[in-house]
């Protein structure tokens, strides 16, 4: 990469490479998902865990937390790749909790194909009626709940460290654009890599 080292920082004189644009996209996506998981989990303190709202928050939390560790589709060609944080190890004392969360995501909430024995069919017999209902065995154990916030914070810091490095590397390129909001586009030269941000019809946009 062309550039100049000033005060220990690398300042780029060229647009970001496709690989670095992908890295920015992946780390931003991961950070946003982890922050969302923490937000959902915090709401569990104000609802009954066994209520419809509580169960929905638990499922949303597990899905959001697990996204950076599972397969995603990477622009510009929607290539199927491993999750951006899949090979990043959590702190040793939280390793088992991290594994539990990913197992719960893949089994208990039925996010993937149905898995026994976590997903069961509950049969209720009350003559003359027989009812068949899906049920999920398991839940968010108290130790897991206490540790999930620490895990999210740890991985968010990992994402922010990488984003800070990339931001410093390409700061001069970012600053060539007028003040405003832009969408990062993973593209090859000479196509633009930043375009004016315009919300798409029907979309809600949250910044994380």
Domain boundaries, the chain: 3-179
Q: Which are the contacts of 123, defined by CB distance < 8 A and separation ≥ 6?
A: 130, 131, 132
- Residue 151: count of CB within 10 angstroms of its CB: 21
Question: Quick one: average pLDDT of 109-137?
Answer: 62
Residue 30 scores a pLDDT above 90: yes
Q: What is the pLDDT of residues 172-194, one digit of tens each?
A: 999 999 999 999 999 988 899 99
Nearest Cα residue to 72 out of 138, 25, 131, 134: 25
Nearest Cα residue to 54 out of 41, 65, 39, 36: 41
Q: Could you tell me which residue, 207 or 187, shows the higher pLDDT?
A: 187
pTM reported for the whole predicted model: 0.77
Q: Residue 207 burial by CB count (10 A; 0-12/13-18/19+): exposed, middle or buried?
A: exposed
Residue 82 scores a pLDDT above 70: yes
pLDDT confidence bin for 9, thresholds 50/70/90: very low
Q: Which helix (H) or strand (E) holds 129?
A: strand 129-136
pLDDT of amino acid 157: 96
- Residue 46: count of CB within 10 angstroms of its CB: 9
Instruction: Collapse the DSSP code of 93 into the 3-class scheme (helix H, G, I; strand E, B; otherwise coil) and give the result.
Output: helix
Nearest Cα residue to 160 out of 93, 101, 98, 208: 208
């Amino acid at each position: 990469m062309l550039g100049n080292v000033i005060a220990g920082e690398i300042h780029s004189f060229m647009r970001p490479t496709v690989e670095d644009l992908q890295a920015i996209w992946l780390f931003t996506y991961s950070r946003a998902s982890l922050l969302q998981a923490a937000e959902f989990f915090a709401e569990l303190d104000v609802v009954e865990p066994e209520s419809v709202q509580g169960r929905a928050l638990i499922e949303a939390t597990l899905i959001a937390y697990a996204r950076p560790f599972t397969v995603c589709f990477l622009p510009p060609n929607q290539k199927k790749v491993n999750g951006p944080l899949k090979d990043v190890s959590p702190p040793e004392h939280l390793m088992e909790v991290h594994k539990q969360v990913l197992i719960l995501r893949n089994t208990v909430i039925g996010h993937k194909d149905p898995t026994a024995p976590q997903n069961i069919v509950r049969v209720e017999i009350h003559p003359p009626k027989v009812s068949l209902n899906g049920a999920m065995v398991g839940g968010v154990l108290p130790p897991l709940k206490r540790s999930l916030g620490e895990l999210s914070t740890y991985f968010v810091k990992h994402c922010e460290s990488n984003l800070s490095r990339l931001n410093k590397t390409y700061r001069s390129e970012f600053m060539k654009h007028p003040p405003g909001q832009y969408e990062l586009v993973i593209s090859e030269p000479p196509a633009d890599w930043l375009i004016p941000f315009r919300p798409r019809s029907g979309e809600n946009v949250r910044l994380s």
